[in-house]
Structure 1
Protein backbone atom coordinates (compact mmCIF):
# COMPACT_ATOMS: atom_id res chain seq x y z
CA UNK A 1 0.00 0.00 0.00
CA UNK A 2 1.20 3.49 -0.85
CA UNK A 3 0.44 6.41 1.49
CA UNK A 4 1.41 9.37 -0.65
CA UNK A 5 0.52 11.93 2.02
CA UNK A 6 2.94 10.26 4.42
CA UNK A 7 5.57 10.14 1.69
CA UNK A 8 5.19 13.89 1.13
CA UNK A 9 5.67 14.52 4.86
CA UNK A 10 8.81 12.38 4.81
CA UNK A 11 10.11 14.30 1.80
CA UNK A 12 9.50 17.62 3.52
CA UNK A 13 11.37 16.33 6.53
CA UNK A 14 14.28 15.21 4.35
CA UNK A 15 14.70 18.53 2.53
CA UNK A 16 14.28 20.60 5.72
CA UNK A 17 18.01 20.38 6.37
CA UNK A 18 18.80 22.20 3.10
CA UNK A 19 18.88 25.98 2.67
CA UNK A 20 15.86 26.96 0.59
CA UNK A 21 17.31 30.43 -0.05
CA UNK A 22 19.84 28.83 -2.40
CA UNK A 23 18.23 29.19 -5.87
CA UNK A 24 19.40 25.78 -7.09
CA UNK A 25 17.99 24.02 -4.01
CA UNK A 26 14.68 25.85 -4.30
CA UNK A 27 14.56 25.04 -8.02
CA UNK A 28 14.82 21.30 -7.35
CA UNK A 29 12.17 21.36 -4.64
CA UNK A 30 9.68 23.08 -6.94
CA UNK A 31 10.70 20.79 -9.80
CA UNK A 32 10.06 17.71 -7.69
CA UNK A 33 6.49 18.69 -6.88
CA UNK A 34 5.81 19.77 -10.47
CA UNK A 35 7.03 16.43 -11.79
CA UNK A 36 4.60 14.78 -9.38
CA UNK A 37 1.84 16.86 -10.97
CA UNK A 38 3.01 15.99 -14.48
CA UNK A 39 3.03 12.28 -13.69
CA UNK A 40 -0.44 12.53 -12.21
CA UNK A 41 -1.55 14.28 -15.42
CA UNK A 42 -0.12 11.45 -17.52
CA UNK A 43 -1.71 8.78 -15.34
CA UNK A 44 -5.11 10.43 -15.66
CA UNK A 45 -4.84 10.60 -19.45
CA UNK A 46 -3.70 6.98 -19.58
CA UNK A 47 -6.57 5.97 -17.28
CA UNK A 48 -4.30 4.17 -14.83
CA UNK A 49 -5.53 2.72 -11.53
CA UNK A 50 -5.17 4.56 -8.24
CA UNK A 51 -2.43 2.17 -7.17
CA UNK A 52 -0.41 2.80 -10.33
CA UNK A 53 -1.03 6.53 -10.12
CA UNK A 54 0.14 6.65 -6.50
CA UNK A 55 3.24 4.64 -7.40
CA UNK A 56 4.06 6.93 -10.34
CA UNK A 57 3.66 9.99 -8.10
CA UNK A 58 5.88 8.42 -5.42
CA UNK A 59 8.59 7.75 -8.00
CA UNK A 60 8.29 11.36 -9.14
CA UNK A 61 8.62 12.56 -5.54
CA UNK A 62 11.85 10.61 -5.11
CA UNK A 63 13.41 10.70 -8.58
CA UNK A 64 15.74 13.64 -7.83
CA UNK A 65 16.31 13.17 -4.12
CA UNK A 66 20.06 12.99 -4.70
CA UNK A 67 20.11 16.39 -6.40
CA UNK A 68 20.24 18.29 -3.11
CA UNK A 69 23.39 16.62 -1.87
CA UNK A 70 24.85 16.75 -5.37
CA UNK A 71 24.55 20.53 -5.32
CA UNK A 72 25.94 20.87 -1.82
CA UNK A 73 28.99 18.79 -2.73
CA UNK A 74 29.71 20.10 -6.22
CA UNK A 75 27.70 23.32 -6.74
CA UNK A 76 26.69 21.80 -10.06
CA UNK A 77 23.95 19.63 -11.54
CA UNK A 78 26.13 18.53 -14.48
CA UNK A 79 26.14 14.75 -14.04
CA UNK A 80 28.95 14.15 -16.55
CA UNK A 81 31.18 16.44 -14.50
CA UNK A 82 30.10 15.33 -11.01
CA UNK A 83 28.00 12.22 -10.28
CA UNK A 84 25.08 10.45 -11.93
CA UNK A 85 22.25 11.96 -9.90
CA UNK A 86 19.84 9.12 -10.70
CA UNK A 87 22.21 6.43 -9.41
CA UNK A 88 23.06 8.64 -6.45
CA UNK A 89 19.35 9.05 -5.66
CA UNK A 90 18.89 5.28 -5.85
CA UNK A 91 21.86 4.67 -3.57
CA UNK A 92 20.55 7.15 -1.01
CA UNK A 93 17.18 5.41 -0.96
CA UNK A 94 18.14 1.77 -1.16
CA UNK A 95 21.75 1.66 0.01
CA UNK A 96 20.93 2.98 3.45
CA UNK A 97 17.28 2.02 3.77
CA UNK A 98 16.01 5.59 3.42
CA UNK A 99 13.21 4.31 1.18
CA UNK A 100 11.37 2.97 4.24
CA UNK A 101 10.85 6.57 5.37
CA UNK A 102 8.63 7.05 2.32
CA UNK A 103 6.91 3.69 1.95
CA UNK A 104 6.76 0.79 4.40
CA UNK A 105 5.75 -1.81 1.80
CA UNK A 106 8.75 -3.30 -0.01
CA UNK A 107 6.80 -4.91 -2.87
CA UNK A 108 7.35 -1.87 -5.10
CA UNK A 109 11.08 -1.49 -4.42
CA UNK A 110 12.37 -2.94 -7.67
CA UNK A 111 10.08 -0.78 -9.79
CA UNK A 112 10.94 2.38 -7.83
CA UNK A 113 14.66 1.66 -7.99
CA UNK A 114 14.70 0.88 -11.70
CA UNK A 115 12.50 3.83 -12.64
CA UNK A 116 14.69 6.28 -10.72
CA UNK A 117 17.90 4.85 -12.13
CA UNK A 118 16.59 4.98 -15.72
CA UNK A 119 14.91 8.38 -15.62
CA UNK A 120 17.94 10.33 -16.87
CA UNK A 121 19.45 7.74 -19.21
CA UNK A 122 20.16 8.76 -22.79
CA UNK A 123 18.53 5.46 -23.71
CA UNK A 124 16.63 3.00 -21.50
CA UNK A 125 18.60 -0.15 -20.80
CA UNK A 126 17.30 -3.50 -22.06
CA UNK A 127 15.69 -6.27 -20.03
CA UNK A 128 12.81 -4.62 -18.19
CA UNK A 129 9.35 -6.17 -18.07
CA UNK A 130 6.30 -4.32 -19.39
CA UNK A 131 5.10 -3.14 -15.97
CA UNK A 132 8.48 -1.72 -15.00
CA UNK A 133 8.73 0.01 -18.38
CA UNK A 134 5.38 1.70 -17.71
CA UNK A 135 6.83 3.55 -14.73
CA UNK A 136 10.16 4.21 -16.41
CA UNK A 137 8.35 5.89 -19.31
CA UNK A 138 6.09 7.83 -16.93
CA UNK A 139 8.93 9.36 -14.93
CA UNK A 140 11.04 10.04 -18.01
CA UNK A 141 8.17 11.89 -19.69
CA UNK A 142 7.01 13.65 -16.51
CA UNK A 143 10.53 14.86 -15.78
CA UNK A 144 10.98 16.20 -19.32
CA UNK A 145 7.60 17.94 -19.32
CA UNK A 146 8.41 19.97 -16.24
CA UNK A 147 11.82 20.91 -17.57
CA UNK A 148 10.05 23.18 -20.05
CA UNK A 149 8.40 25.06 -17.20
CA UNK A 150 11.73 25.30 -15.37
CA UNK A 151 13.43 26.73 -18.45
CA UNK A 152 10.80 29.45 -18.71
CA UNK A 153 10.36 30.49 -15.09
CA UNK A 154 13.96 30.46 -13.86
CA UNK A 155 16.57 33.07 -14.70
CA UNK A 156 18.99 32.16 -17.46
CA UNK A 157 21.81 32.90 -15.01
CA UNK A 158 20.48 30.24 -12.62
CA UNK A 159 20.02 27.70 -15.41
CA UNK A 160 23.15 28.15 -17.50
CA UNK A 161 25.38 29.99 -14.97
CA UNK A 162 26.19 32.77 -17.44
CA UNK A 163 24.34 35.92 -18.49
CA UNK A 164 21.70 35.97 -21.19
CA UNK A 165 23.88 38.43 -23.10
CA UNK A 166 26.76 35.95 -23.16
CA UNK A 167 24.57 33.05 -24.27
CA UNK A 168 23.20 35.10 -27.17
CA UNK A 169 26.73 35.80 -28.39
CA UNK A 170 27.61 32.12 -28.67
CA UNK A 171 27.38 29.68 -31.56
CA UNK A 172 25.76 26.28 -32.06
CA UNK A 173 28.17 23.36 -32.31
CA UNK A 174 27.90 21.44 -35.57
CA UNK A 175 27.32 18.09 -33.84
CA UNK A 176 24.47 19.54 -31.77
CA UNK A 177 22.97 21.25 -34.81
CA UNK A 178 22.99 17.98 -36.75
CA UNK A 179 21.52 15.95 -33.89
CA UNK A 180 18.65 18.40 -33.49
CA UNK A 181 18.16 18.68 -37.24
CA UNK A 182 17.70 14.91 -37.38
CA UNK A 183 15.21 14.94 -34.47
CA UNK A 184 17.58 13.23 -32.06
CA UNK A 185 17.87 13.47 -28.31
CA UNK A 186 21.13 15.32 -27.65
CA UNK A 187 23.95 13.52 -25.88
CA UNK A 188 24.98 15.82 -23.01
CA UNK A 189 28.78 15.32 -23.22
CA UNK A 190 28.67 16.52 -26.85
CA UNK A 191 27.55 20.01 -25.84
CA UNK A 192 30.18 22.73 -26.24
CA UNK A 193 28.31 26.01 -25.71
CA UNK A 194 25.48 27.27 -23.54
CA UNK A 195 23.23 27.50 -26.60
CA UNK A 196 24.01 23.81 -27.10
CA UNK A 197 22.80 23.19 -23.57
CA UNK A 198 19.59 25.12 -24.22
CA UNK A 199 18.90 23.21 -27.41
CA UNK A 200 19.52 19.93 -25.61
CA UNK A 201 16.69 20.79 -23.20
CA UNK A 202 14.26 21.54 -26.04
CA UNK A 203 15.34 18.33 -27.78
CA UNK A 204 13.67 16.42 -24.94
CA UNK A 205 10.59 16.47 -27.19
CA UNK A 206 12.26 13.88 -29.42
CA UNK A 207 12.31 11.37 -26.56
CA UNK A 208 8.73 11.77 -25.31
CA UNK A 209 7.01 8.39 -25.20
CA UNK A 210 3.32 9.06 -24.63
CA UNK A 211 1.08 10.91 -27.10
CA UNK A 212 -0.47 12.83 -24.20
CA UNK A 213 3.02 14.15 -23.38
CA UNK A 214 3.30 15.54 -26.91
CA UNK A 215 -0.17 17.04 -26.60
CA UNK A 216 0.90 18.69 -23.34
CA UNK A 217 3.84 20.34 -25.12
CA UNK A 218 1.60 21.53 -27.92
CA UNK A 219 -1.18 22.74 -25.63
CA UNK A 220 1.16 24.98 -23.63
CA UNK A 221 3.25 26.06 -26.64
CA UNK A 222 6.43 25.00 -24.85
CA UNK A 223 8.52 24.79 -28.02
CA UNK A 224 7.83 28.38 -28.99
CA UNK A 225 8.20 29.64 -25.44
CA UNK A 226 11.53 27.89 -24.96
CA UNK A 227 13.02 29.10 -28.23
CA UNK A 228 11.81 32.64 -27.61
CA UNK A 229 13.94 32.99 -24.47
CA UNK A 230 17.11 33.28 -26.56
CA UNK A 231 17.94 35.50 -29.53
CA UNK A 232 21.42 34.86 -30.97
CA UNK A 233 23.06 38.05 -32.19
CA UNK A 234 25.11 36.48 -34.98
CA UNK A 235 22.90 36.39 -38.12
CA UNK A 236 24.12 32.93 -39.15
CA UNK A 237 23.55 31.47 -35.68
CA UNK A 238 20.15 33.16 -35.51
CA UNK A 239 19.16 31.53 -38.82
CA UNK A 240 20.32 28.12 -37.56
CA UNK A 241 18.35 28.68 -34.36
CA UNK A 242 15.17 29.54 -36.29
CA UNK A 243 15.64 26.50 -38.52
CA UNK A 244 15.79 24.25 -35.47
CA UNK A 245 12.73 25.96 -34.02
CA UNK A 246 10.78 25.03 -37.13
CA UNK A 247 12.11 21.47 -36.99
CA UNK A 248 10.80 21.20 -33.42
CA UNK A 249 7.41 22.71 -34.26
CA UNK A 250 7.00 20.41 -37.26
CA UNK A 251 7.92 17.39 -35.13
CA UNK A 252 5.31 18.21 -32.48
CA UNK A 253 2.68 18.77 -35.16
CA UNK A 254 3.59 15.51 -36.86
CA UNK A 255 3.38 13.55 -33.64
CA UNK A 256 0.07 15.21 -32.79
CA UNK A 257 -1.40 14.36 -36.18
CA UNK A 258 -0.54 10.71 -35.59
CA UNK A 259 -2.53 10.53 -32.36
CA UNK A 260 -5.58 8.36 -32.91
Structure 2
Protein backbone atom coordinates (compact mmCIF):
# COMPACT_ATOMS: atom_id res chain seq x y z
CA UNK A 1 0.00 0.00 0.00
CA UNK A 2 1.26 3.46 -0.93
CA UNK A 3 1.01 6.64 1.12
CA UNK A 4 -1.64 8.11 -1.18
CA UNK A 5 -3.86 5.04 -0.70
CA UNK A 6 -3.80 5.43 3.08
CA UNK A 7 -4.45 9.18 2.75
CA UNK A 8 -7.49 8.47 0.58
CA UNK A 9 -8.84 6.01 3.16
CA UNK A 10 -8.31 8.57 5.93
CA UNK A 11 -10.15 11.22 3.91
CA UNK A 12 -13.05 8.85 3.28
CA UNK A 13 -13.24 7.85 6.94
CA UNK A 14 -13.29 11.47 8.09
CA UNK A 15 -16.11 12.36 5.71
CA UNK A 16 -18.09 9.20 6.50
CA UNK A 17 -17.91 9.56 10.27
CA UNK A 18 -18.66 13.32 10.19
CA UNK A 19 -21.93 12.49 8.45
CA UNK A 20 -23.16 10.99 11.73
CA UNK A 21 -22.48 14.12 13.79
CA UNK A 22 -25.29 16.59 14.50
CA UNK A 23 -23.38 19.38 16.23
CA UNK A 24 -25.03 18.59 19.56
CA UNK A 25 -22.29 17.33 21.94
CA UNK A 26 -24.73 15.21 23.94
CA UNK A 27 -26.16 13.50 20.87
CA UNK A 28 -22.72 13.13 19.30
CA UNK A 29 -20.82 11.84 22.35
CA UNK A 30 -21.01 8.13 21.48
CA UNK A 31 -19.97 8.68 17.86
CA UNK A 32 -17.20 11.10 18.86
CA UNK A 33 -15.90 8.54 21.32
CA UNK A 34 -15.49 6.05 18.46
CA UNK A 35 -13.82 8.63 16.23
CA UNK A 36 -11.29 9.40 18.98
CA UNK A 37 -10.88 5.69 19.75
CA UNK A 38 -10.08 4.96 16.11
CA UNK A 39 -7.37 7.64 16.02
CA UNK A 40 -5.64 6.13 19.05
CA UNK A 41 -5.94 2.57 17.74
CA UNK A 42 -4.20 3.77 14.57
CA UNK A 43 -1.35 5.07 16.73
CA UNK A 44 -1.24 1.81 18.69
CA UNK A 45 -1.14 -0.42 15.65
CA UNK A 46 1.66 1.62 14.04
CA UNK A 47 3.65 1.27 17.26
CA UNK A 48 3.10 -2.50 17.41
CA UNK A 49 3.75 -3.03 13.70
CA UNK A 50 6.99 -1.07 13.93
CA UNK A 51 8.05 -3.01 17.03
CA UNK A 52 8.12 -6.24 15.03
CA UNK A 53 9.98 -4.70 12.11
CA UNK A 54 7.27 -4.67 9.47
CA UNK A 55 8.18 -2.83 6.26
CA UNK A 56 6.44 0.51 5.79
CA UNK A 57 3.98 -0.73 3.16
CA UNK A 58 2.70 -3.35 5.62
CA UNK A 59 2.61 -0.80 8.44
CA UNK A 60 0.28 1.23 6.21
CA UNK A 61 -1.96 -1.81 5.66
CA UNK A 62 -2.07 -2.32 9.42
CA UNK A 63 -3.02 1.33 9.91
CA UNK A 64 -5.79 0.96 7.32
CA UNK A 65 -7.14 -1.98 9.29
CA UNK A 66 -7.14 0.13 12.45
CA UNK A 67 -8.82 3.01 10.64
CA UNK A 68 -11.68 0.80 9.45
CA UNK A 69 -11.97 -1.77 12.25
CA UNK A 70 -14.91 -0.01 13.93
CA UNK A 71 -16.50 1.60 10.88
CA UNK A 72 -19.63 -0.46 11.55
CA UNK A 73 -20.05 1.13 14.98
CA UNK A 74 -21.47 4.38 13.57
CA UNK A 75 -24.35 2.79 11.66
CA UNK A 76 -24.87 0.35 14.53
CA UNK A 77 -25.41 3.16 17.03
CA UNK A 78 -27.54 5.15 14.61
CA UNK A 79 -29.88 2.18 14.12
CA UNK A 80 -29.96 0.67 17.59
CA UNK A 81 -28.65 3.24 20.08
CA UNK A 82 -26.19 0.75 21.53
CA UNK A 83 -22.74 -0.74 20.95
CA UNK A 84 -23.88 -4.08 22.38
CA UNK A 85 -23.52 -6.54 19.50
CA UNK A 86 -25.66 -9.13 21.26
CA UNK A 87 -28.59 -6.72 21.40
CA UNK A 88 -28.16 -5.27 17.92
CA UNK A 89 -25.83 -6.54 15.19
CA UNK A 90 -22.23 -7.72 14.88
CA UNK A 91 -20.46 -4.43 14.27
CA UNK A 92 -17.55 -6.13 12.51
CA UNK A 93 -19.81 -7.82 9.97
CA UNK A 94 -21.67 -4.54 9.50
CA UNK A 95 -18.35 -2.81 8.90
CA UNK A 96 -17.46 -5.30 6.17
CA UNK A 97 -20.87 -4.72 4.60
CA UNK A 98 -20.30 -0.95 4.62
CA UNK A 99 -16.82 -1.26 3.09
CA UNK A 100 -18.17 -3.39 0.27
CA UNK A 101 -21.23 -1.22 -0.31
CA UNK A 102 -19.23 2.02 -0.48
CA UNK A 103 -16.32 0.55 -2.45
CA UNK A 104 -13.88 2.34 -0.19
CA UNK A 105 -11.17 -0.27 -0.83
CA UNK A 106 -11.52 -0.26 -4.62
CA UNK A 107 -8.13 1.43 -5.19
CA UNK A 108 -6.21 -1.34 -3.45
CA UNK A 109 -4.91 -4.66 -4.77
CA UNK A 110 -7.01 -7.79 -4.29
CA UNK A 111 -4.59 -9.08 -1.65
CA UNK A 112 -4.67 -5.82 0.29
CA UNK A 113 -8.46 -5.71 0.17
CA UNK A 114 -8.71 -9.26 1.48
CA UNK A 115 -6.22 -8.62 4.28
CA UNK A 116 -8.14 -5.55 5.46
CA UNK A 117 -11.60 -7.09 5.12
CA UNK A 118 -10.65 -10.27 6.99
CA UNK A 119 -8.93 -8.34 9.78
CA UNK A 120 -12.02 -6.14 10.26
CA UNK A 121 -14.38 -9.12 10.02
CA UNK A 122 -12.63 -11.09 12.77
CA UNK A 123 -11.18 -8.36 15.00
CA UNK A 124 -13.88 -8.94 17.64
CA UNK A 125 -14.15 -12.73 17.27
CA UNK A 126 -13.70 -14.88 20.40
CA UNK A 127 -10.59 -16.44 18.87
CA UNK A 128 -8.48 -16.34 15.73
CA UNK A 129 -10.07 -18.09 12.73
CA UNK A 130 -8.44 -21.26 11.45
CA UNK A 131 -7.12 -21.86 7.97
CA UNK A 132 -6.03 -18.29 7.26
CA UNK A 133 -2.67 -17.39 5.67
CA UNK A 134 -0.05 -16.22 8.13
CA UNK A 135 0.07 -12.67 6.71
CA UNK A 136 -3.70 -12.22 7.16
CA UNK A 137 -3.43 -13.52 10.72
CA UNK A 138 -0.62 -11.05 11.37
CA UNK A 139 -2.85 -8.04 10.66
CA UNK A 140 -5.64 -9.62 12.68
CA UNK A 141 -3.35 -10.13 15.67
CA UNK A 142 -2.15 -6.54 15.39
CA UNK A 143 -5.63 -5.02 15.40
CA UNK A 144 -6.81 -7.19 18.27
CA UNK A 145 -3.89 -6.02 20.41
CA UNK A 146 -4.09 -2.36 19.34
CA UNK A 147 -7.82 -2.30 20.02
CA UNK A 148 -7.47 -3.78 23.50
CA UNK A 149 -4.84 -1.23 24.49
CA UNK A 150 -7.20 1.63 23.78
CA UNK A 151 -10.35 0.04 25.21
CA UNK A 152 -8.44 -0.31 28.49
CA UNK A 153 -7.48 3.37 28.27
CA UNK A 154 -11.05 4.51 27.59
CA UNK A 155 -12.41 2.80 30.68
CA UNK A 156 -9.46 3.62 32.92
CA UNK A 157 -9.75 7.31 32.05
CA UNK A 158 -13.35 7.41 33.26
CA UNK A 159 -12.31 5.98 36.60
CA UNK A 160 -9.17 8.13 36.83
CA UNK A 161 -11.30 11.26 36.60
CA UNK A 162 -14.17 9.93 38.74
CA UNK A 163 -16.59 9.92 35.84
CA UNK A 164 -19.28 7.41 34.99
CA UNK A 165 -18.49 5.51 31.77
CA UNK A 166 -20.48 6.44 28.67
CA UNK A 167 -23.69 4.40 28.89
CA UNK A 168 -23.37 3.15 25.33
CA UNK A 169 -19.80 2.01 25.92
CA UNK A 170 -20.63 -0.09 28.99
CA UNK A 171 -23.45 -1.59 26.92
CA UNK A 172 -26.11 -0.49 29.43
CA UNK A 173 -24.95 -3.09 31.95
CA UNK A 174 -26.20 -2.64 35.53
CA UNK A 175 -23.65 -1.49 38.12
CA UNK A 176 -24.41 -4.14 40.75
CA UNK A 177 -22.15 -5.64 43.47
CA UNK A 178 -22.16 -9.07 41.81
CA UNK A 179 -20.00 -10.94 39.33
CA UNK A 180 -20.14 -14.15 37.33
CA UNK A 181 -18.28 -17.13 38.85
CA UNK A 182 -17.65 -18.44 35.32
CA UNK A 183 -15.60 -15.34 34.48
CA UNK A 184 -13.59 -15.72 37.69
CA UNK A 185 -12.96 -19.35 36.69
CA UNK A 186 -11.79 -18.33 33.22
CA UNK A 187 -9.27 -15.90 34.70
CA UNK A 188 -8.07 -18.46 37.26
CA UNK A 189 -7.38 -20.79 34.32
CA UNK A 190 -5.62 -18.01 32.40
CA UNK A 191 -8.05 -17.82 29.54
CA UNK A 192 -10.10 -15.02 28.05
CA UNK A 193 -13.61 -14.76 29.46
CA UNK A 194 -16.69 -14.87 27.23
CA UNK A 195 -19.07 -12.04 26.48
CA UNK A 196 -22.01 -14.43 26.81
CA UNK A 197 -21.31 -14.75 30.56
CA UNK A 198 -21.38 -11.00 31.13
CA UNK A 199 -24.34 -9.59 33.08
CA UNK A 200 -23.03 -6.69 35.18
CA UNK A 201 -20.50 -3.88 34.96
CA UNK A 202 -18.16 -5.86 37.22
CA UNK A 203 -18.32 -8.72 34.72
CA UNK A 204 -17.33 -6.31 31.97
CA UNK A 205 -14.34 -5.10 34.00
CA UNK A 206 -13.25 -8.69 34.67
CA UNK A 207 -13.72 -9.59 31.02
CA UNK A 208 -11.42 -6.72 30.05
CA UNK A 209 -8.81 -7.86 32.56
CA UNK A 210 -8.97 -11.36 31.05
CA UNK A 211 -7.85 -9.97 27.69
CA UNK A 212 -4.23 -10.19 28.88
CA UNK A 213 -4.48 -13.90 28.02
CA UNK A 214 -5.27 -13.04 24.38
CA UNK A 215 -2.37 -10.71 23.57
CA UNK A 216 -0.02 -11.48 20.70
CA UNK A 217 3.07 -9.25 20.82
CA UNK A 218 5.70 -8.50 23.48
CA UNK A 219 5.30 -4.75 22.94
CA UNK A 220 1.59 -5.00 23.77
CA UNK A 221 2.43 -6.35 27.22
CA UNK A 222 5.07 -3.65 27.67
CA UNK A 223 2.63 -0.91 26.74
CA UNK A 224 -0.16 -2.35 28.89
CA UNK A 225 2.13 -2.46 31.90
CA UNK A 226 3.59 1.02 31.36
CA UNK A 227 0.23 2.71 30.80
CA UNK A 228 -1.27 1.32 34.00
CA UNK A 229 -4.84 1.11 32.70
CA UNK A 230 -5.42 -2.45 33.89
CA UNK A 231 -4.45 -1.55 37.44
CA UNK A 232 -6.91 1.36 37.39
CA UNK A 233 -9.74 -0.86 36.17
CA UNK A 234 -8.88 -3.55 38.72
CA UNK A 235 -8.90 -0.94 41.47
CA UNK A 236 -12.58 -0.21 40.85
CA UNK A 237 -13.68 -3.77 41.60
CA UNK A 238 -15.21 -4.65 45.01
CA UNK A 239 -12.85 -5.95 47.69
CA UNK A 240 -13.60 -9.68 47.76
CA UNK A 241 -11.30 -12.73 48.01
CA UNK A 242 -12.17 -14.26 44.64
CA UNK A 243 -11.81 -10.90 42.90
CA UNK A 244 -8.46 -10.26 44.58
CA UNK A 245 -7.25 -13.65 43.38
CA UNK A 246 -8.44 -12.99 39.82
CA UNK A 247 -6.73 -9.61 39.75
CA UNK A 248 -3.54 -11.20 41.10
CA UNK A 249 -3.49 -13.73 38.27
CA UNK A 250 -3.92 -10.96 35.69
CA UNK A 251 -1.25 -8.75 37.20
CA UNK A 252 1.19 -11.63 37.43
CA UNK A 253 0.72 -12.29 33.71
CA UNK A 254 1.29 -8.62 32.95
CA UNK A 255 4.36 -8.41 35.19
CA UNK A 256 6.04 -11.51 33.74
CA UNK A 257 5.39 -10.67 30.08
CA UNK A 258 5.58 -6.89 30.33
CA UNK A 259 9.34 -6.69 30.88
CA UNK A 260 11.09 -5.06 27.97
CA UNK A 261 13.98 -7.08 26.61
TM over 0.5: yes
Spell out the pairing of 1:1-260 with structure 2 (5 A cutoff). Answer: 1-2=1-2, 3=4, 4-19=6-21, 21=25, 22-100=28-106, 103-154=107-158, 155-158=163-166, 159-160=169-170, 167=175, 169-228=176-235, 230-232=236-238, 238-256=240-258
| Structure 2: runs of 5 or more not aligned | none
Deviation at 1:162, TM superposition (A): 6.1
**1: distance between equivalents of 2:11 and 2:205?**
34
Q: Is the 1:152–1:226 Cα contact (8 Å) retained in structure 2?
A: yes
More displaced stretch, 3-12 vs 72-81? 3-12
| Count of matched residue pairs | 249
Q: Is the 2:202–2:237 Cα contact (8 Å) retained in structure 1?
A: no
Q: Is the 1:218–1:252 Cα contact (8 Å) retained in structure 2?
A: yes
TM-score between the two structures when normalised by the length of structure 1: 0.89
| Aligned-partner SS, 1:99 | coil
Q: Is the 1:223–1:245 Cα contact (8 Å) retained in structure 2?
A: no
Q: Is the 1:156–1:162 Cα contact (8 Å) retained in structure 2?
A: no
| Aligned-partner SS, 1:156 | coil
**Alignment CA distance shift 1:213-1:81 (3 Å):** same
**Alignment CA distance shift 1:224-1:157 (3 Å):** closer
Q: Is the 2:84–2:171 Cα contact (8 Å) retained in structure 1?
A: no
The alignment's C-alpha RMSD in Å is 2.0
**2: distance between equivalents of 1:178 and 1:104?**
45
| Aligned-partner SS, 2:92 | helix
Deviation at 1:72, TM superposition (A): 0.8
| Structure 1: runs of 5 or more not aligned | none
**2: distance between equivalents of 1:23 and 1:185?**
29
**2: distance between equivalents of 1:194 and 1:184?**
19
